[in-house]
Amino acid sequence: MSQNILLTKKDKQAIGEIHLTGSKSECNRALVIEALSGARVRVENISDAADTVTLQKVLGITLQTVGYESQPITHHVEHKVVNIGPAGTAMRFLTAYYTLQDEEVVLTGSERMKQRPIGILVDALRTLGAEISYEENDGYPPIRIKGNIQQSTDKISIKGNISSQYITALLLIAPKLPMGLEVHIEGDLTSRPYVEMTLGMLEQAGIKHEWNGNVISIPNQEFKETVLPVEPDWSAASYWYSIAALADKADLFLHGLTPYSLQGDSVITEIMANFGITSQFRDGGVHLVKEQKPIVRKQFDLKKCPDLAQTIVVVCAALGHEASFTGLETLKIKETDRIAALQNELAKMGVKLIEENETYTLDCSGKFIPERMFIHTYDDHRMAMAFAPLALIIPELEIEDAPVVEKSYPAFWTDLEKIGFEVKDI
């Protein structure tokens, strides 16, 4: 596939069946748990998302390549360099993981990864006794990690309104810390479902915890022999809900999804009910049907599911629904500044996303439907997939850097073709 594609849809119907890849969020946690358990835990239904492939290769015993272009792990006399490319989850999880290993590692990534903060996690690990230093700029990768942490305390405090991946990274290594770990969360916890997912998966692997108020405690303990099955990805499912919402007629079946999920993004079923999409769980999956109904809900708090933000904002903009959004604080430190990216691209159809005191409101008064629209993706998989459903209302939609979706959903464009989208290389 070339870098750019032209996306078109001759009709406004979305009918078909889709098999989604395994959840990237679940799989990345499960792979670290497997590695920490000494293979007592085994992972099933491993995602083919590029981030997960990268992490699996880094953690693998026999594999000696990492990154999106099979960059070698370079061995030096005193340390090795691990380049994880743009894989943000891998950067956070491996920062904590390598403090327990009997080796010295320089952990680095893409140019954008070098702009994404890691200081809060590094400070927490240093408090515990880890030896970590910065190779270039303080607070940012690349970082040098000397393993065999000499734990000096079992208590750390960390802000709750930062990336939940920092907290998850600490919780994942907690059972292997000699003194265990007590995490004190300061203020409101952003993306709480992701922390609950981490604790739920640890529990499946035999790890006990206590969560009282703002304190999560995990003592030193052993993993049990078990299998961690990875669910299909609800984040990937969200784009099909978006397609259903913008279609005149929708009848979609997503295999393998259940109403009882560890993934916080499963809340998309409730959110999209506001747009007339019913979710019927039967026959081993979820059936999406579009019903015509007025959209009443005007406010969406996305603090617990920030990865759904682009999808929901774009749907509202496309429908001319002037909603307000909160809980988007972490979007500026993702693969790109997702707030700025949304503002730039929505402006191409006359829609403004206005920020005021951490509340974001859509102004659709100048909305128009162009004959052709070009979407910059900003090296962000979710920008590509959140805007792709606009092909249902815009005759020609050109999307930059189409392969960027490989980060979480490699089959996305192929799956769109299954339900009648035309995907042409440019």
Query: By C-alpha distance, which of 66, 96, 100 is closest to 80?
Result: 66
Tell me the CA distances in angstroms from 412 to 91, 305, 311, 388, 426, one per residue in order. Answer: 24, 21, 15, 10, 17
Q: Report, in angstroms and rounded to the nearest whole number, the Rg of the chain calculated over CA atoms.
A: 21
Query: By C-alpha distance, which of 231, 244, 178 is closest to 30?
Result: 231
Q: Tell me if residue 307 is catalytic.
A: yes
Quote the tokens at residue 352.
């403004």
DSSP string of 291-329, one letter each residue: --------EEE-TT-GGGHHHHHHHHHHTT---EEE--G
**Phi, psi of 20, rounded to the nearest 5 degrees:** -90, 155
Catalytic residue among 51, 265, 307, 379: 307
Say how far apart CA 372 and CA 394 lie, in whole Å. Answer: 7
Q: How far apart are the first and last CA of the chain?
A: 9
**Phi, psi of 204, rounded to the nearest 5 degrees:** -60, -30
Residue 331's CB: how many other CB atoms inside 10 A? 23
Say how far apart CA 159 and CA 120 lie, in whole Å. Answer: 9
Active site amino acids:
307
